[in-house]
A and B are shown apart, each in its own frame.
Chain A
Amino acid sequence: MVTTDKPVYKVIGTRPIRPDGIDKVTGRAIYGADIRQPGMLYGRVKRSPHAHAIIKRINTEKAAALKGVHAIVTAQDFGADVASLPDVSKNLLAGDKVLYRGHAIAAVAATTDLIARQACDLIEVEYEILEPALDVREAMLPGAPLLHPNQRTRTPAGPSENPSNTVAQVAVAFGDVDKGFAECDVIVEGEFKTRMVHQGYIEPQSATAMWNPDGQITVWTCTQGSFPARQTLSQVLNHPVSKIKVVPTEIGGGFGGKISIYLEPVAALLSKKAFRPVKITMDRADVFEGTGPTPGTSIKAKLGATKDGKFRAFYADLAYENGAFPGSAANYATMCITAGYDIEHVKLDAYDVVVNKPRTQDYRAPSSPAASFAMEQLIDEMAQKLGKDVEELRLQNVCREGTRGPMGMPHRAPGHEETLQAAKASAHYNSPLEGPNRGRGTASGFWFNVGLRSSVSVSVFPDGTVSLIEGSTDIGGTRASLAMQLAETLGIAYEDVKPEVVDTDSVGYNDVTAGSRVTFGTGMAVHEAGKNLAKEMAARLAPTWSVTPDDIEFADGVFKTKDGSKSGNFKEIAQAVVGRGPGLTVSGSVNAGFLQGGGFAHAIVDVEVDPETGKVTILKYTAVQDAGTAIHPAYVEGQMQGGAVQGIGWALNEEYYYDDSGRMANSSYLDYRIPTTLDVPMIGTIIVETPNPLHPFGVRGVGEPGIVPPLAAIANAVSHATGVRQTQLPMNPGRILETTRGK
């Protein structure tokens, strides 16, 4: 760990066991598919076998007549009041047109899953099949099959004259890029392509809904955000938010893919019709074809520098697939691609493009890995041309305090320089790499991280321990990271805090568990609740000590009078003022804003490329990342390692493999190759701690930046091993052979 100045903490920085650990390793934890309710029915969704087609007719008569079928719903059951979220409802159940293979068309609730499946097969759908648009660049061309015939491109000059699959052009410019390139001695450029990949969470989506006759809806679901799910349900169903309770179950991975909802409103509508609870659980093919992967991209980029290595100008044309509906991460990409560097002249043109694939969703640091794949390869190539050490070149151009940041405003304590210095000084970077067909690559990556809104409540038990009630679903160990922050605030032991994640009726509003925000944003709410609790306890203690509350100080877990005549630790005082008095509950609620300060990650990777088979073997991988302050270092390391492994899969093997009709040919884990423990070495970690000035304990989000650098780092390593630059993912054996044979 590389740490700059930070306070001495008692709990923060330790590695206690997680509160939910025993339940999870013994199988007692309740995940989405574990929900059982009395009289529960099983739901299934009928999906489109075509990538692009007009629905001419849906006939549900035969399905409805099947014994055991209790309800069938189609898009018509949403009614006409979904205007506020039309694309969401059209994605939940297609109306007049299917826009990708796997697009939901209807759903059935039956007494068994088998009957529900049989009923889906009995639903008759008549299609008029249309040609699909599958490639992002081809979909942008005039004459491409149009997904939404009335869609015009939003451009800085106004809507386009003709309909287009390009939803929006985002144009960003700083300085004068033509002048900048004219000042350059060396220019490198290329076109880089990444494929659509899935987040690869192990737990498929599952939702259970009960629509009571009194209008109260309860939904149990494995979501990244129970409160945003409640809001979407309210809008799609046109139902009061106060009459919807979302109960979050444990969640077996999300990585951004479980922010949007797919099954919840459908299960609710089925329940409303059947008067019984309905559970729908996806199978793996449903997950691949019916949920939101991350976009495939095509990025044309150009970087210019002076002969002494100063970056002067950068241009990129970035095309991101949306899938079937507007809203890709292309705009984010414009804010990530140059975030790590100080470049005076920048021009970026980004395009959101709809194609006949599933509506894309977030995946750890959405947009940034593909952007880094382009940028960091150009930097590597620039270093080669200039004859410079690539880490030195990055450091020469690194962003610092006050440098124009990713959105134009100045960076604050960005931490990229410290991360690069830690990488450059690492044993891995300074070790020799010997042997044929081997190469070493490095790359950096950035993600914003956000704060958003969080609420918690804290109650004191009579024995002086405390409960922590939170609404942020726990994906990455945040029960522990939040309990640790409360323990640090109150000066008590971690084991004296009992955290629990509750439903949407039981705590104040919490935004999604995403954007690497919970340990940061909900941590701020926890810190505030801790301060409120100490203040309330001092107020209750004052009469006992015959002083005013202002005469009592609280620090390091000890209450004492300012004159030092009386004192007691938290537990003693809690037992006195709560054990013998009325109950004590306080809350902490914050809007931590959007700007968390961002976070940088870096990767050093050694590979060996088999010239006969094209297989790339990861020999050694070191992840370096700025965590601000590592609350629980083991969990920080876990996030870094997880991001690295997902990035390795993305770089080497993963892709949605489509045939010309728009059918995904590898929608199972047999054919969609995510890395296993046999595919990757132990991922080394170096945690950099550059405390974040925007958080009371200096926290930065750590969940996302780690997935950004591996794509480019591995491509750079392969390039050095083979002498051939890899501009297209995945770098699977076929592609390696195709690009290196005869070189």
Chain B
Amino acid sequence: MATVHIPALLRPLTGGASLVEAAGSTLRDVIADVVRQQPALAGRIADAHGILPEIMIAIGDTEAMHVDAPVPDGAEVWVLPALAGG
């Protein structure tokens, strides 16, 4: 199981829940399990093409670049809003 942190911007879709315990050995599987538990997040984190451009995801302290990234058991997965700057 992984602990998935939901960003504040998406919590209106989870009833305010900030954490989801999700199963899966890859990010794709983990996201699918998150969406199974929180259906309103469908299409808000990833779609058929991969992680959405406005979302970034880190596994532990390392950014995941694609949905096939492995997720170790017990990992902390951070779903984060995309950043840019001036």
Contact = CB atoms under 8 A, between A and B. Distances in A.
Interface stretch (B23-31, B41-49, B59-67): B59-67
Interface string A511-545: 01011110000000000000000000000000000
B61 A156 contact: no
Contacts of B11: 156, 171
B1 interface: no
Nearest to B5: A408
A471 interface: no
Contacts of B78: 407-409
A168 B16 contact: no
A549 B7 CA distance: 48
Q: How large is the interface on A (under 10, 10 to 19, 20 to 34, 35 or more residues)?
A: 35 or more
A515 B56 CA distance: 15
B52 to A, nearest CB: 12
A449 interface: yes
Contact of A362 (B8, B61, B76, B86): B86
Interface in A702-731: 703-704
Interface stretch (A27-35, A70-78, A497-505, A590-598): A590-598
Given A157-B16, A594-B63, A448 B8 contact: no
Interface in A389-435: 407-412
Nearest to A228: B84
A66 B34 CA distance: 62
A518 B83 CA distance: 15
B58 A450 contact: no
B12 interface: yes
B16 to A, nearest CB: 4
Interface string B61-86: 10101000000000010101111111
Contact of B12 (A155, A448, A449, A515): A155
A328 interface: no
A512 B35 CA distance: 31
A255 interface: yes
Interface in A295-333: 331-332
Contacts of A255: 86
B65 A514 contact: no
Binding site of A, secondary structure by majority: helix, strand, loop or mixed? loop
Interface residues of B, number: 24
A450 B84 contact: yes
Interface stretch (A91-99, A139-147, A363-371): A363-371
Given A409-B61, A410-B61, A595-B58, A170 B86 contact: no
A364 B56 contact: no
A448 B85 CA distance: 8
Nearest to B64: A593
Contacts of B80: 407, 409, 594
Given A156-B12, A331-B8, A594-B56, A514 B86 contact: yes
A199 B86 contact: yes
A158 B12 contact: yes
Contacts, number: 94
A332 B84 CA distance: 10
A170 B9 contact: yes
Contact of B86 (A154, A155, A366, A591): A366
B44 to A, nearest CB: 13
A593 B61 CA distance: 13
A34 B49 CA distance: 41
A691 interface: no
A171 B8 contact: yes
Contact of A593 (B5, B63, B85): B63
Contacts of B60: 409-410
Contacts of B82: 594
Interface in A591-624: 591, 593-595
A364 B12 contact: no
Contacts of B8: 156, 170-172, 331, 334
Interface string A445-477: 001111010000000000000000000000000
Given A154-B12, A171-B11, A409-B61, A515 B83 contact: yes
A363 B16 CA distance: 31
Given A409-B78, A594-B63, A450 B83 contact: yes
A256 interface: yes
Contacts of B81: 331
Contacts of B63: 593-595
Contacts of A407: 7, 78, 80
Interface in A257-289: 257, 259
Contacts of A408: 5, 78
Nearest to B8: A170
B83 A594 contact: yes
A447 B56 CA distance: 17
A207 to B, nearest CB: 20
B83 A593 contact: no
B61 A704 contact: no
B12 A362 contact: no
A257 B85 CA distance: 10
Contacts of A257: 86
B61 A332 contact: no
Contacts of B86: 199, 254-257, 259, 362-366, 514-515, 703-704
A512 B84 CA distance: 9
B5 A447 contact: no
A695 B48 CA distance: 30
Contacts of A364: 85-86
A365 B85 CA distance: 6
A514 B85 CA distance: 6
A704 B18 CA distance: 30
Given A156-B8, A170-B9, A256 B85 contact: yes
A409 B61 CA distance: 6
Contacts of A411: 61
A168 to B, nearest CB: 7
A300 B49 CA distance: 42
Nearest to B78: A409
B85 A362 contact: yes
A450 B12 contact: no
A219 B34 CA distance: 43
Contacts of A514: 84-86
Interface in A334-350: 334
B56 A157 contact: no
Contact of B85 (A412, A515, A591): A515
Contacts of A256: 85-86
Contacts of B58: 409, 595
16 contacts: A156-B8, A156-B16, A158-B15, A259-B84, A363-B86, A366-B85, A408-B78, A409-B60, A409-B76, A412-B61, A515-B83, A515-B84, A515-B85, A594-B56, A595-B58, A704-B86
Which 4 residue pairs spanning A and B have beta carbons closest together? A256-B86, A515-B85, A156-B16, A362-B86
Interface of A: 154-159, 168, 170-173, 199, 254-257, 259, 331-332, 334, 362-366, 407-412, 447-450, 452, 512, 514-517, 591, 593-595, 701, 703-704
Interface of B: 5, 7-9, 11-12, 15-16, 18, 56, 58, 60-61, 63, 65, 76, 78, 80-86
Given A171-B16, A409-B80, 16 more contacts: A156-B15, A199-B86, A256-B85, A331-B8, A362-B84, A364-B85, A407-B78, A408-B78, A409-B58, A409-B61, A410-B60, A448-B83, A514-B84, A514-B86, A594-B56, A595-B58
